[in-house]
Amino acid sequence: MLNPPTEGAGTPVRVVIVDDQMMVREGFSVLLNAQPDIEVVGEAVDGREAVEKVVELVPDVVLMDIRMPRLNGLEATREICAASLPTRVLILTTYDLDEYVYQALRAGASGFLLKDASARQLAHGVRTVAGGDALLAPTVTRRLIVEFSRLSSVAGPRAPLMERVGDLTERETQVLALVAQGLSNGEIADRLVVAESTVKTHVSRVLVKLGLRDRTQAAVFAYESGLVTPGG
C-alpha cells in the first residue's frame, strides 16, 4: 500500500470540505490551508453540491459530513465512489459510532474523523487518506466493525463473498483476517513473524484480488463474508 505523503512533499493535497454549517467549513478550511502541503480547493453545503464539486474539481480528498439537506453524506459518498474518480472520502461525524458511519464505509469511504479532532489530527487524516491508506485506528476498527457488522449479518454470511475469499492464498487470507481485527501492519508482522514490508505486499494483493479500495473496505468485506465474526 502507499504510504501517506510527508509534509511539504510534492504537490499539495487538494481538499473539498462538505458541511451544511458555514462555521465548520470555514474553521476546517483555515486549519487545513495553514498546512504547507494541503490546499482547500472548494466547499459544498450539501451532498448534491458535493458531487458536483468533486466532478468539477476532482480533489484528492473530500471531508464529508453525514447529515445534510438535499442529499446526505451517505448518498453523496456512494455517488462519488461509484464515479471511479481518484477522489477519496473522509467522513466527518459528531459521534464515533454514528449509525451512518458503517454504511458510509460500505459505500466506499476511506475512514472517518470526529468533528472535534485537533488541527494535527485533521491534517494527518487528510494526508493518510490521500496517500491511499484508510483512516481507522485499530481500536476504532474493532469497535466499529464489530458493532455494525451484526446489522448486515442477520441473514448470515454471503456465499458469493466467501467464494471470493477462495481466490486468496492461505497467507493472504490470514492477513485479511488480522486486518479485520484491527491490527496494524506492524502488529500483523509481529503476529506472523514476517517483515512489515511483506505484510504491506500481502495487503496490496488482497485489495487487488478482491477489488477493494483500502484496508477499511477489506475489514468490512471480511466480516460480511463470514471470514471473521464479531467477537471471533
Look up the domain containing 208 and give its range: 141-225
Per the domain annotation, does 1 fall within a domain? no
Shared domain check, 112 and 157: no
Dihedral over Cα of 23, 25, 53, 33: its sign: positive
Of 135, 165, 186, the domain-final residue: 135
pLDDT tens for 77-91 read: 999 988 888 899 998
Lowest-confidence segment of 62-76, 122-136, 173-187 by average pLDDT: 122-136
Shared domain check, 120 and 166: no
Q: Work out the mean pLDDT of the chain and round it to a whole number.
A: 82
Shared domain check, 126 and 17: yes
Shared domain check, 130 and 17: yes
pTM value > 0.85: no
Please, are residues 110 and 129 in contact by the beta-carbon 8 Å criterion? Answer: yes
Q: Cell 494527518 identifies what position? A: 124
Domain of residue 81, CATH code = 3.40.50.2300
Shared domain check, 174 and 211: yes
Of 82, 106, 135, the domain-final residue: 135
pLDDT tens for 8-31 read: 457 899 999 999 999 999 999 999
Tell me the helix, strand and coil percentages in the chain, rounded to 5: 50, 10, 35
Quote the number of domains for the chain.
2
From the list 36, 75, 83, the residue with the least C-alpha distance to 59 is 83
Residue 1 predicted with pLDDT over 80: no
